[in-house]
Chain A
């Protein structure tokens, strides 16, 4: 199977053929994949070199002239390094763009912390007006990307090497109900779904699948917790633990509730190795999840 990043390249190459407003802005990363597209559309596939501040500023400038830029590099260099450009060149200028990252939180553990970005979504949460997609499968990455390039708004698409075994019919809005139960709600974000389903096997919980996390589907969560007097909610994310806990709490403000936010620990792990080893270290493998969900639901 191709990776989400592979699918990003093939899908965007097709979209460039279809939409004359579309442009791709790169900073060396993934340039090889876009070589044919650059030949077919000179001027609409731009590589600014290893210059991430310029990457965002140039993409925003293109948007100011009426183009729809798709801006891509690793998450650390797309969101964290040029964060003020994201805030001002896009947000403050009221310019739109589609930011597409690769690398996520632990895609390349052997590369170490310099290429990990567990805080990207939490950082974007300090800004207004961003739609955030976290696909859990290459098919979903394609669907969400096609959804994102339409319109003028600011969209972040977070791609990862971690993938669920099955793509689901995502629409770019709201959560999907994957399993129904009555003892609590577990929200699985993007590529965490398979592990969450394995971890909650036999538990009487509702499992919601979230690939579009901003805006947060508050109605969907309220519907899932049902008409009880209280609510217990677990959010399992492939990014910084607690990233969406505030949004879940806001959704349930009218109801006494508890929210457990599971995800990547804030403390730097300082380990290399493999993706699976990092999932285990952060308690995001099925066993680690089960232990913590059990402890939370049956205190």
Chain B
């Protein structure tokens, strides 16, 4: 596949305007903005996927596991041209493809439907296994989870398997806004490290730091980036 990006429709400065077009899910507002910078840096500088390659076998995959508060995700997809901004005001309405949780069958560019926590990471593990089995070593698979979402047992299973299995193509970004009711002893990074992952912890609002963490080499191991943002109050 080509790595040449198509011309983006909008830049980072447009994201807040795009998000303001979506109303009706204010309950998830903090969840939405917590992911904004992490998502933007991924789509702007890291992921090798465009509207033109959204179905190409060799594309990078991004799986939004934390499907709650998807406004930032929709805004970034619109900014990158996966669909037009005219869809945004319909957010959550009967005729809109954009729900309060995304549906891959309805949203152009969405790799998975999510909302129920703990599904993205196992699906991402399987995506890497499927790519490997087809000899596709190039595509990278990224999955975004929340810190509290890591409490789900399915994520424990995926993390514990992916490290020893050496799934180098697998990448996780954990948005850590301190929302887990019982914080993990030793912190989130320790959980991944214990399972043999490569781990970086960064300021989730710092684009340069996010980019450096995202692109850090991690030969033979899956890679986790813990993106810290302001705690959910």
B-contacting residues of A (Cβ < 8 Å)?
Answer: 23, 25, 43-44, 46, 48-49, 51, 53-54, 56-67, 69, 84-85, 88-89, 92-94
Contact = CB atoms under 8 A, between A and B. Distances in A.
A66 B139 CA distance: 14
Given A85-B119, A93-B112, A61 B104 contact: no
B116 interface: yes
Q: Which bucket holds chain B's interface residue count?
A: 20 to 34
A25 B134 CA distance: 15
A63 B126 CA distance: 8
A218 B138 CA distance: 49
B228 to A, nearest CB: 27
A57 B125 contact: yes
Given A53-B122, A67-B133, A67-B134, A93 B127 contact: no
Contacts of B123: 57-58, 60-61, 64, 89, 93
B126 A59 contact: yes
A66 B57 contact: yes
A54 B131 contact: no
Contacts of B131: 65
Interface stretch (B35-43, B88-96, B150-158): B150-158
B113 interface: yes
A49 B129 CA distance: 15
Given A65-B126, A66-B130, A93-B112, 4 more contacts: A54-B154, A57-B121, A63-B130, A64-B123
Contacts of A44: 133
Contact of A48 (B103, B111, B121, B157): B157
Given A54-B157, A67-B134, A85 B104 contact: no
A65 B122 contact: no
A89 B112 CA distance: 9
B122 A54 contact: yes
Contacts of B127: 61-62, 64-65
B210 interface: no
Contacts of A88: 113, 116, 119
9 contacts: A23-B130, A53-B154, A57-B125, A63-B126, A64-B130, A84-B116, A88-B119, A89-B119, A93-B112
B153 to A, nearest CB: 7
Contacts, number: 102
B105 interface: yes
Nearest to B133: A43
Given A51-B160, A66-B134, A61 B126 contact: yes
Interface in B132-152: 132-134, 136
B31 interface: no
B22 interface: no
A59 B111 CA distance: 15
A18 to B, nearest CB: 15
B227 interface: no
A51 B157 contact: yes
A62 B157 contact: no
B161 A49 contact: yes
A58 B105 contact: no
Contacts of B132: 43
A57 B158 contact: yes
Contacts of B133: 23, 43-44, 62, 67
A56 B158 CA distance: 11
Interface in B186-218: none
B126 A60 contact: yes
Contacts of B121: 57
Interface string B77-115: 000000000000000000000000001110000011100
B19 interface: no
Contacts of B160: 49, 51
